[in-house]
Structure 1
Amino acid sequence: MMLEGKTAIVYGGAGSIGGAVARGFAREGARVFLAGRTLESLEVVAEEIRAGGGQAQADVVDALDETAVDAHVARVVATSGGLDISFTAIADNDVQGTPMVEMDVADYLAPIVTNVRSKFITARAAARPMRAQRSGVILYFGGAPNRAPFTDYYIGGVLTAFEAVEAMRRQLASELGRDGIRVVSLRTGGIPESLPADFEGREAIVASMAQDSLLGRTATLADVAAVAAFVASDRAATMTAATVNVSCGALVD
């Protein structure tokens, strides 16, 4: 197994993407600590992992609270002897479907603040023990999209958030590489399974996702989990300061 003996924290572990990645890490042998705001939903994922023979623990942690994140990382390190993987898949907290010129400032800034704050806090906390052990992987989910403008749907501040996180990823990779720490983003172009059933314009968005991809389909949660496990493993030891395209060709590098 690619992640045998590794310890991973997954922020947003009860969500569709975080849960899928946590399951993928566990299938490859990692001990997974699920972090999020709601213990009940985290425990559902943790129990599924344990039922499949994996190791998982659920903890209530607000990724926007630096004190809580730092304390949780310290507990994980004390329990496991180190931290090898940090994956952050916090919800964007965004308002979509409204033209920018008609949006409230708070609605536009919400996904930017949530993404940047959560990913900075969790990366900083993870990097400290990783620097001491001189190894580790920090994974972000999102990544910058193609440069082509979105004309069929108004997406608020979410793309600005993605671009900001990519700038953070590049800077972290340059600072932490000398300590043996890799920093990578996964980008998909959209995962229909992660969209709520009542999401406004869902059917049209899902149809366009598949139509716009070179493979004629969209990435699945299973696809993302498999790639995340590979990137987090030693088999991807040369990969850092990079984005990994998991979009079925919806995004062209």
Structure 2
Amino acid sequence: MLLSGKNAIIYGAGSIGGAIARAYAAEGARVFLAGRTRATLAAVAGPIGAEIAEVDALDERAVDEHADAVAATAGGIDISVNVIADHDVQGTPMTDMAPDDYLSPVVTNVRSKFLTARAAARHMKPRGSGVILTFGGSGDRTASGRFRLGGLQTAFEAVEAMRRQLATELGPYGIRVITLRTGGIPEAVPARYKGRAEIAARLAADTALGRAATLADVGRVAVFAASDHARSITGAALNMTCGAVLD
């Protein structure tokens, strides 16, 4: 198993976080799920034996205390994954948006990923190893304008800058920092969104392969990124956009 003996914290247990949690557990990791909704956490954790905690990733004290508790219980933190990307307003043209609606995903993404990365790194540095994964990524994706994503892509670009800086600062301690980048996952589009089928079709049409990544794909790539097979990769975005974004 690629992650046998590894302790992983995953912030966010929705579709993407759940897929990563299942993939990690299948590869032998001890999984700690953190999020704000216990019912969502429990639904993912039950079948895989993950441990759960209600944690607001925007709350500095809550994030630090949870990381301390995991490290004390499990003996350390090997992997930290933050897939939180909520508080975004989509479908509205930028010229019609209120400033707070545009900036909300930027603040949420930057603050939550800074806090969770910092908490994990403080435990990883003394051990001389660790992997910090974020979700999002940048690219010259023309479809982002068509989908009217508001401030979400701006948030992802800000996190990319954070990823590069963290990789530089933490590399001497053996800690790797990587972004998981997709061009959009049809399965992850909430059912409540109008035009969900149209969005899924457009996501696939924009790729070189004629299909978009699946949740299972995300889980497999996340396993690789956290494993020793990727020990030479840091400061990079792993491109699983199926060719929607070309490096």
TM-score by length of 1: 0.95
| Aligned CA-pair RMSD | 1.1
Q: Which residue of 2 aligns with 1:139?
A: 133
Alignment check: 8 A CA contact 1:145 1:187 kept: no
Q: Which residue of 1 aligns with 2:191?
A: 197
Pair 198,174 (structure 1): closer, same or farther in 2 beyond 3 Å: same
Alignment check: 8 A CA contact 2:137 2:160 kept: yes
What pairs with 1:34-183 in structure 2 (closer than 5 Å)? Answer: 34-50=33-49, 56-146=50-140, 148=142, 150-183=144-177
Q: In 2, distance between residues paired with 1:149 and 1:44?
A: 33
Alignment check: 8 A CA contact 1:111 1:157 kept: yes
Q: In 1, distance between residues paired with 2:246 and 2:198?
A: 21
The reply on whether 1:236 has 2:217 as its aligned counterpart is no
Instruction: Give the letter aligned to residue 47 of structure 2.
Output: E
Q: Displacement, 1:145?
A: 2.9
What pairs with 1:17-36 in structure 2 (closer than 5 Å)? Answer: 17-36=16-35
Q: In 2, distance between residues paired with 1:217 and 1:170?
A: 29
Instruction: Give the letter aligned to residue 189 of structure 1.
Output: G
Q: Which residue of 2 aligns with 1:2?
A: 2
Structure 2 unmatched ranges of 5 or more: none
Please give the per-residue CA displacement for 1:157-196, whole angstroms capped at 9, x wherever unaligned: 0111010000000000000000000000011100010011
Q: Displacement, 1:201?
A: 2.8
SS in 2 for 1:113: helix
Q: In 1, distance between residues paired with 2:191 and 2:6?
A: 35
Structure 1 unmatched ranges of 5 or more: 51-55
Please give the per-residue CA displacement for 1:96-123, whole angstroms capped at 9, x wherever unaligned: 1111111001100010000000000000
Q: In 2, distance between residues paired with 1:73 and 1:170?
A: 23
Q: Displacement, 1:39?
A: 1.2
Number of residue pairs aligned between Structure 1 and Structure 2: 247
Q: In 2, distance between residues paired with 1:18 and 1:148?
A: 26
Please give the per-residue CA displacement for 1:58-84, whole angstroms capped at 9, x wherever unaligned: 111110001000000000000111100
Q: In 1, distance between residues paired with 2:63 and 2:196?
A: 33
TM-score by length of 2: 0.97
Alignment check: 8 A CA contact 1:187 1:245 kept: yes
Instruction: Give the letter aligned to residue 239 of structure 1.
Output: I
Instruction: Give the letter aligned to residue 44 of structure 2.
Output: V
